[in-house]
Amino acid sequence: MSHVTEYAPGLVIQGFTPPLDLSDFKLIAFDMDSTLINIECVDEIADAAGRKEEVAAITEAAMRGEIADYKESLRKRVALLRGVTVADMEQVYTERLQLNPGAETLVKACKAAGMKVLLVSGGFTFFTDRIRDRLGIDYTRSNVLEIKSGVNCGELTGRMVDQEWGDICDGAEKRKMLLETCAKLGIPPKQAIAVGDGANDLPMMGEAGLSVAYHAKPKVREQAMVAINSGGLDRLLEVVRP
């Protein structure tokens, strides 16, 4: 895409002339890990199993787009979580997870403009459900970690549970969910904003009318219409005004 411009310090735009009007959009879709929140949940869960370094290396490669099969990379990481407890995950949520700066402000502004909010994540329902409730998000799609019952109940098995829509929320599933949500709302994808940071966000960002990279990997920054490289998520409101 041409016409790359540093609109303000740490805020790069390409392919359009700001400001845009927030009321022209009807849906905003967010990735969760390292976008709406400050951590990669799978890496922090792995820390409880003493495997954070190993899992984080796979996560980084996947987010950079260096791993072709995202689903397989996630299965490998989840397998390393076997034996981690629900209590460990609760500790990650309460002690390590924070909303990224400006997340709450941006979501509130979008809702005030009459927009619906979608959270699509390659992470896990344990966290997306809590973020959904915390921010009043309308729709979510993410992965379910399998938890043992009976002996050793409350421990992760190292597997994920298939859902009615499929097995794993990867880049293709994020795109599909964005398009399905637009269809449900009766709007064209050009009235959607998609915000992400990793390679698995590019399929949905490519469908949206406005694509936003937040402190993203180089490949994502290059392809996004807006790249927020410093400051909070609410910097989007500098170019898409309420």
The domains of the chain are located at 4-241
Q: Are 108 and 136 in contact (CB under 8 A)?
A: no
Quick one: pLDDT at residue 2?
Answer: 52
Quick one: pLDDT at residue 151?
Answer: 66
Question: CA torsion, points 181, 130, 30, 120, in degrees to nearest 10?
Answer: -50
CA distances from 20 to 77, 205, 242 (A): 40, 17, 9
pLDDT tens-digit map of 34-44: 999 999 999 99
Whether 133 is catalytic: no
pLDDT tens-digit map of 76-132: 999 999 999 999 999 999 999 999 999 999 999 999 999 999 999 999 999 999 999
Whether 69 is catalytic: no
Q: Check: pTM over 0.75? Answer yes or no.
A: yes
pLDDT tens-digit map of 150-203: 767 799 999 999 999 999 999 999 999 999 999 999 999 999 999 999 999 999
Write the class of the CATH domain 4-241.
alpha beta
Pick the catalytic residue from 21, 33, 43, 133.
Answer: 33
Q: Are 131 and 36 in contact (CB under 8 A)?
A: yes
Distance CA 57, CA 94 (A): 24
pLDDT band, very low/low/confident/very high, at 3 (cuts 50, 70, 90): confident
Distance CA 206, CA 224 (A): 8
Pick the catalytic residue from 21, 24, 31, 201.
Answer: 31
Quick one: pLDDT at residue 68?
Answer: 85
